[in-house]
Structure 1
Amino acid sequence: MAANHGLTIQQESDDAMRLVVSDTESSAVSVFWKPLPPQPPHTVGHQLTPPEHLEILIQAGPGDTSEATRELGEHLDTLRLPYTESEIEGITTAMPLLAHYSNPDPALDDWALLFRDHYLEHSVGFLLAMERAGIPPEWIFALAKGDRTYNRERIHATFHTRGYRSGLLDNTAINTPEAHGAELTDVTATLDAFIDTAHSAGRKVLVVDDGGLIARGYGAPDAERRVDAAVELTVSGIKRITQAGPLAIPVLNMARSHTKTSLGYPEIADSCLRRLRALIGDRKFIGRQVLLIGYGTLGCRLAPALRGLGCRVDVLDTDLPSLIAAAEAGYPTHRSTPDALRVTDPFLIIGTTGEQALTGDDLSFLSDGVFLAPFATRDFSILTETTSSTHDIPGVGRRVRLPGGNTVVLLGDGRSMNLFEADSIPNQGYDAYRAGTLIAAKHLCANADQIPPGLYRDPADAAIEAAGLFDAYYDRYLAHPTQCPKTTGMTTRERRQVNACVVGYGNAGRLHTQILTELGADITIIDPKHQDVPKGHHSFPHDVANLPTVRAAAIDLWSICCPTADHLPVLRAVLEHNPAARVLVEKPACQGHEIEEFTSLLATHPRARVLVNDQYQHSTVLPAFTDLLREYEGQAPITHAAITFTKDRTADIANGRFIDRTYGVLGYEWLHMLAVLSRVLPAPLVEAYFASIPEAAELWATYDPRLFVAALTERTTLDHPSEGRTRLELASSILGPSILLGTAPQPRSPWRRDIRTADDRHRHVRLETGNTRFTLHLEPVTAPGGWQLERNHHRLTAERDNHLLYDEVLEDSPLSTAIRYAMRSLLDEAPLPEVDLIPLRRIAALAEILRDRAPHDTPAFTVTNQ
């Protein structure tokens, strides 16, 4: 900036600088700054660590320096006005339901957004959610409605900083277009250009508005240019749309939606009353007379709130059903303003109609000094149209002299008073309504071609109900703590309600469901067999591809636990629903011949976040095992490593369950064994193993005509310059009981006899280094003598010369730890590690070798490859 003005920067001190004119050394601009003590928050909420504040003084020097001074001030505004990252995080955190439903949705991929609403913090939250859901920042155009809301300049700057377009289409200009011709011409040209650019780029245009845009013809059959769909937010907007004539686009009516009526209007009424009391905080309310004009959706909520304060409330309404409702609720009622003011003398008159609540003839009935509180722009517009003598009362409103000589105080600026220099509704208070609007917008974009032109409420209500918003609202804000899901020890991100879908409800699906439920997730189970699905969860007895779009769009986290042969088709169906889905796939990721197709699917969906579950990758007992080895043998090389995982699946196989003819025994425990190998051997030995040629290994295989290979032992020798020579043995079997290994424990806690029937699964890891043998018995643990440990307890031992050096029991739930890690990682935005398919490729290669050498038409027997 200095260079552009021919100036040079001179640093005077740590808190001052000068911009001087070259060659003269005379100051053009001087800048001074100093840190300020912690300041009150400049947001609706607060941050635990408030941002630092500086006070900056810009002093213009002699001569023509106004341009440089102005430019520096404007540049500093671009730095100071936008919300900080911590403030943005505070807004997002205060709207957890909106965050929950803002998962990426492919329905928004080819849309642009025109958003017109008050510049309030919950509007920021909504646009951030639309951005997360899939609309790029450059295709978001926000328009303020002209109200003097708190932080409107900061919000405008924030939108620009994020890459949105931001402008103004004032309600006053829409209501009286003949008086705002030039203003409307400018904004119309900008809107037309945005719509044309979006359509040229192949994007449809969604409007989320209070009726200003559609009323100006952008949804009409004969429109020169037309948007493609709209979500209407306010009753006044509905009236404008109705008056504008036939529609050529679908419009969803959120103004009359069940969400706004039930959850939005109580918060609006609360904000109106709070703002009213703040503006005339020195006035007595208890026992005073109040006239409420309008007993509609807002008025019928304000009346009992005022009565609860002790006010004597009279109601005026020209709509007879509303007037009857007010009378039967116990309020004195009146058909007209003169009728009301002849028999009452209110100190406060409140307008909630959205229409002209006072006429010129009514003004003579107003008492001197009465307060007028408009909660819609047009309520008391007569005062700005027929009176000329006004006196501003900063921060309160204006004092207006009436034609008859009396004066009244119009609170606010004549528009919606709850928005005057305020942020109106709390962010949490509008969380549900903004979330409902987001759900409706997603549904509309996904189904715009199927919804005929017209104004509809039912599709919005149905989409919101299907998405479970009211359930989520109750659980988040209203349920008793003992009714809420268990969240102990969870992170802030995990604590918000996560909508998880478990595909497949076999053993793995049951475990995933149990753990995700304990982590506070709301579970949907998809299982075509619909086998034993618990009633406490949502369920869907069809395939993922048949899941309704609205249901699929609400899923935050997918867990694929179906048979391996279905993993790839299910993942493909999930990504068709949502190309940016967050997916946990149970091991193995896919079948061996599908590896390339699996990797290609991930490559064509770069926004997807996919993890393959690897429970032993996150086990805490494995590092404890290697630490034990180093404690007793230091850096001595490992000379022998043996990993044995067995499980007797005879009964399951007889019942047709857990039959893997593609991999045989390799498809059950071998991936777990390789995960353990990667954790307990030094990295160079692990790399050497996976780089070795499977054909060079010694393989002992037991073939079975039902199962391909029922047992396998792989022996190989690993050589590495720094680690020496290590003999490695991997063994697994799925038929027949296993022999218990190791020494009997001392008869003390936590060991107990016969806790359960004899275990049919055993998982042992043995490392030999120096003169010591280290053994890890992973759960379930049964030791010689019938001694057993509870689930998720593991035994570590160290022996030397047949003498037991160390014997310890550790508690660790690898699967729970792995799913917690997956949930946290998938829902985060930090980069994920690439899906590691090297172990699966090794297994596929081993299976191919075994298949090539398999005997034919013979009973089960063992062969060896040496």
Structure 2
Amino acid sequence: MDTVPTPVTRATWDILRGPIPPEALLLGVAGLAERHGLRVHQTGPDSMLLAGTDDTPHVAMRWHPYIPDRPNTLSHVLPAQESVEILLDVHPGGQEAAADLRVWLRARLRCYDPAELEQIIASMPLLARYATPAPHLGGWAVIFRDHFVENTLAFLMAVQQAGVPPEWIYALAKGDRTYNRDRVHATLLAQGCRSGLLDNTAINAPNSHADDLAQAFADVDAFIDAAHAASRKVLVIDDGGLLAHGYGRADSPHRVDAALELTVSGLKRITAAGPLGIPVLNLARSALKTNLGYPEIADSCLRRLRALLPAMKVIGRTVLVLGYGTLGSRLAAALRAQGCQVHTVDPDPLALIAAAEAGHPTYRTAVDALHAVRPFLLIGTTGEDALTAEAVGALPDGVVLAPYATKDFAVLAIDPALAESATEIPGIGRRYRLRDGAQVTVLGDGRSLNLFEADAIPNQGYDAYRAGTLLAAKALCARVGTIPAGVHTDLVDDIITSSGLYDAYYDTYLTIGAPAQLAPIGSEPLAGMTACVIGYGAAGRLHAQFLTDAGAQLMILDPKHQDLPKGCRTFCHGVDELPRPVAADVDLWSVCCPTADHLPVLRSILTHDPGARVLLEKPACQSHEIDALIRLLDEHPTARVMVIDQYRHARALGVVADLIKAYEPGASLRHIGITFTKD
């Protein structure tokens, strides 16, 4: 009779690579083996076996040194730890343990090692300069949503340096296929942060991604609820994805407390979501991003485009740019400088006027443009449905589409009736054969092309923008109770301008000759802070000197306005008359005016900022004002007022004690009188 052969279970194997010290490898494997009830046998200097209690092999491991093809960071730094190549040989019964081992090894091997992290931080000196401790941040939690690139990792490490504990940082990737997104994710988890995904595709098409959104928002809800239960406020740094789904509304059951908005598309989402119940600082339209951020973004867009078209001639050819906004106008100018004939499309008449006066042929719609010219390249920068079904029918054969926003060319992926076939080109994009036989190629994955399997902007190129974002976050968290609900742009510009960031940017990257050396991290404990000295007499001059030496940006209020130092902002009136944006920028108040003015000045400060940080020269107030001072402080529980008490630490007491010990060691002292006089 015929017999069915018994299937033979064959071993399977995997290869993993990355930097890890041998002791960390052994320790991690030992812990995992213990959880699975397995024993670890060291079978050689570079091999081990995970076996059952009866010594049945479950997983065999072998490793040897491995030299990567190239450094895996933007700065080409070599890891401090030796890279290894690990072979996992899985035996019958070892599949579960091997699966857990793979997960642990992949996460551990993909982490940036200490040398790589050190270089990432060093590549962003402005961010490091302003990553100084801010005590009030210790009571906040942060939800950060952006692309997972090296400058994102540097920013989140700076947030930790500034005072937010890693367990209260929740990083969400936007879903772009950035080159080292898995390394950023693994490193954040290793640092104790939370890390997940809230995909822009799901945000833009919620009906077709309902399950993904529900899970992502459930995790966000839990994080916000846990933070509030721990008496923490929650700051969102995002492109409007969370606020568009109600997290900034006054009636939201999981409302956050403040937000920083990073993108123009995010502003559109926020506007469409309705009235806000929280303050939102607008980085997207700030002078910082417009003047320093977008030129770097445009440069990264063109560099990625040329890298994906190595065989194509670009100079002199016809290009159609859809959208003549902040990014589109820069791309048009850069392509024209390369000799391209650049045509532009925009429905906004002001944008058309700007494009026409810059010398570009202009059109109100893509259909009009495609009937007039045959471009070899279409660039999308609108963030809207820039390419309609009618426009697709007018595309010339062989045209290349380069999207720099998610929705511009989405119609090709959404409407299957437009194309007969779609072929994936690994590492490049997707080629469509249209109904009329024409072939068109969409570069990338239909999202921002500069982020497609790349790290986009150089770390130094985004250094100032990330530093400015940190400064804005510090200021917003410090003054959240005084900033009304809604979107604020002017306040962002005031914060950045008064911080000294632009001077530091120029001195670091653009000055002629030897670059200026920024102070080492931690050498200026008040770097990035703005201090206001009230009263510029003898005490005020001392305070001003100490605060300046500590790295603070200085403001001075003095009605006499005499002999004031140059190089700082000065005002010849009281705190009551200080412009609100100026007062909102103050991190530390130093009250050095006459004692009789202390109480009214302190009251004015707390009117501007109920949670102000104040240094108060002694005495704090006049004797008959003590009860009023106590009531004022009780009414402002989040304020912190410190009265200068240097005489408490005077050397005189130590000198007296030494003299007594030397000359009257057996004397019984009944009284020591200490007298203070100004003359």
Superimposed CA distance per residue, residues 67-89 of structure 1 (whole angstroms, 9 cap, x where no aligned partner)? 12121122222322222233333
1:451 correspondence with 2:483: yes
Match of 1:468 in 2: 500
> Alignment partner for residue 328 of structure 1, among 338, 351, 357?
357
Instruction: Return the offset for 1:295.
Output: 0.6
Identify the residue that residue 9 of structure 1 maps to in structure 2: 40
Tell me the SS of whatever aligns to 1:57. Answer: strand
Q: What is the number of equivalent residue pairs in this alignment?
A: 619
CA gap of 1:466–1:247, structure 2 versus 1, over 3 A, is: same
- Change in CA separation of 1:63 and 1:132 when aligned onto 2, cut-off 3 Å: same
Deviations 1:228-260 (A, max 9, x none): 222221111111122222223222222212221
Partner of 1:793: none
- Structure 1 residues 517 and 167 mapped into 2: Cα distance closer, same or farther (>3 Å)? closer
In the alignment, does 2:471 pair up with 1:439?
A: yes
* Secondary structure in 2 matching 1:415: coil
State the Cα deviation string for residues 571-625 of structure 1 (Å, max 9, x = none): xx99xx99999x9xxxxxx9xxxxxxxxxxxxxx9x99xxx99xxxxxxxxxxxx
Quote the residue 1:816 is aligned against. Answer: none
> What is the CA deviation profile of residues 179-198 of structure 1, one whole-angstrom value per residue up to 9, with x for unaligned ones?
11111111121122122222
1:323 to 1:440, Cα distance in 2 relative to 1, 3 A: same
2:326 is paired with a residue whose SS is coil
Contact 1:103 1:554 (8 Å CA) reproduced: no
- Identify the residue that residue 256 of structure 2 maps to in structure 1: 227
CA contact (8 A) 1:498 1:556 kept: no
Whether the 8 Å contact between 1:356 and 1:379 is mirrored in structure 2 is yes
Instruction: Map residues 351-362 of structure 1 onto 2, 5 A cutoff.
Output: 351-362=380-391
1:407 maps to what in 2? 439
Matched, 1:532 2:563: yes
1:64-103 superposed matches below 5 A: 64-103=93-132
Percent sequence identity over aligned pairs? 52
TM-score by length of 2: 0.78
Contact 1:318–1:335 (Cα < 8 Å) also in 2: yes
How far residue 104 of structure 1 moved from its aligned partner, in angstroms, is 2.9
Distance 1:145 1:197, change over 3 A: same
Instruction: Spell out, residue by residue over 1:272-306, the C-alpha distance to the aligned partner (whole angstroms, 9 max, x if none).
Output: 11111111122221112111111111011111111
Whichever structure has more strand as a proportion of its residues is 1
Change (3 A) 1:692 1:535: closer
Answer yes or no: is 1:294 the counterpart of 2:323: yes
Unmatched 5+ stretches in structure 1: 564-569, 584-589, 591-604, 614-661, 675-686, 698-715, 719-844, 853-866
Task: Report the Cα distance in structure 1 between the residues aligned to 2:162 and 2:584, rounded to whole angstroms.
Answer: 10
Q: 1:351–1:379: 8 Å Cα contact kept in structure 2?
A: yes
Q: How far does the alpha carbon of each residue in 1:769-821 deviate from its partner, in whole angstroms, 9 at most, with x for none?
A: xxxxxxxxxxxxxxxxxxxxxxxxxxxxxxxxxxxxxxxxxxxxxxxxxxxxx
Q: Quote how far apart the aligned CAs of 1:341 are.
A: 2.0
What displacement does 1:106 show? 4.2
- The 3-state SS of whatever aligns with 1:366 is coil
Match of residue 270 from structure 1: 299
Task: State how 1:584-595 maps to structure 2 within 5 Å.
Answer: none
Question: Secondary structure, in 3 states, of the residue corresponding to 1:449?
Answer: helix
Q: Which structure has more RCO (C-alpha within 8 Å, separation ≥ 6)? A: 2
Of the three residues 41, 46, 71, the one matched with 2:76 is 46
* Deviation digits for residues 737-796 of structure 1 (CA, Å, limit 9, x no counterpart): xxxxxxxxxxxxxxxxxxxxxxxxxxxxxxxxxxxxxxxxxxxxxxxxxxxxxxxxxxxx
2:209 maps to 180
The Cα of 1:421 is off from its aligned counterpart by 0.7
Structure 1 equivalent of residue 339 of structure 2: 310
1-structure distance, mates of 2:205, 2:74: 33
Offset of 1:475 from its aligned partner? 3.1
- Tell me the SS of whatever aligns to 2:461: coil
- Contact residue 58 and residue 69 of structure 1 kept, 8 A: no
Match of 1:374 among 385, 400, 403: 403
The answer to whether the 8 Å contact 2:491/2:581 transfers is: no
**In the aligned structure 2, how far is the partner of 1:89 from the partner of 1:545?**
46
8 Å contact kept, 1:443–1:550: no
Number of the residue aligned with 1:162? 191
AA matched with 2:65 = P
Q: Using the TM superposition, give the Cα deviation of residue 105 of structure 1 relative to its aligned residue in structure 2, in angstroms.
A: 2.8
Is residue 427 from structure 1 mapped to residue 459 from structure 2 by the alignment? yes
Q: Is the 8 A contact 2:386 2:408 kept in 1?
A: yes
Pick aligned residue for 2:50 from 10, 15, 19: 19
In the other structure, the counterpart of 2:270 is: 241
Asked whether the 8 Å contact 2:471–2:528 carries over to 1, the reply is: no
Per-residue deviation at 1:147? 0.8
Structure 1 residue 851: Cα displacement = 6.8
In structure 2, give the amino acid aligned to 1:44.
L
Q: Counterpart amino acid of 1:437?
A: T
Tell me the secondary structure at the aligned position of residue 242 of structure 2: helix
- Does the C-alpha gap of structure 1 residues 43 and 508 become closer, same or farther in structure 2, counting only changes over 3 Å? farther
Measured on the aligned residues, the alpha-carbon RMSD in Å equals: 4.7
What amino acid is the match of 2:39? Answer: T
Which whole-Å CA distance do the structure 2 matches of 1:183 and 1:16 have between them?
41
Change beyond 3 A, Cα 1:261–1:342: same
| Cα separation, 1, equivalents of 2:338 and 2:104 | 48
What is the CA deviation profile of residues 362-408 of structure 1, one whole-angstrom value per residue up to 9, with x for unaligned ones?
11211222111000000100110123622111111111221222111
Change beyond 3 A, Cα 1:424–1:341: same
Task: Give the structure 2 partner of residue 764 of structure 1.
Answer: none
1:538-559 deviation line (CA, Å, top 9, x unaligned): 4577999999999899899999
Give, in angstroms, the shift of residue 530 of structure 1: 5.9
Distance of aligned partners of 1:528 and 1:104 in 2 relative to their CA distance in 1, 3 Å threshold: farther
How far is 1:158 from its partner? Answer: 1.7
Unmatched tracts of structure 2, length 5 or more = 1-31, 595-600, 621-637
The one-letter amino acid paired with 1:17 is M
User: Cα 1:345–1:495, aligned 2, differ >3 Å: closer, same or farther?
Assistant: farther
SS at match of 1:88: helix
Q: What is the CA–CA distance in structure 2 between the aligned matches of 1:110 and 1:242, rounded to whole Å?
A: 29
1:204 and 2:229 aligned: no
Rounded to whole Å, the distance in 2 between the matches of 1:846 and 1:149 is 75
Aligned equivalent of 1:29 = 59
Q: 2:151: which partner in 1?
A: 122
3-state SS of paired residue (1:31): strand
Note closer, same or farther for the CA distance 1:374–1:12 as it changes in structure 2 (3 Å cut). Answer: same
SS, match of residue 313 in structure 1? strand
| 1:132 and 2:164 aligned | no
Q: Measure how far apart 1:336 and its partner are.
A: 2.2
Shift of 1:338: 2.7
Taking structure 1 as reference, are residues 453 and 509 closer, same or farther at Cα in structure 2, changes over 3 Å only? closer
Name the CA distance, whole Å, in 1 between partners of 2:242 and 2:217. Answer: 9
Larger radius of gyration: 1
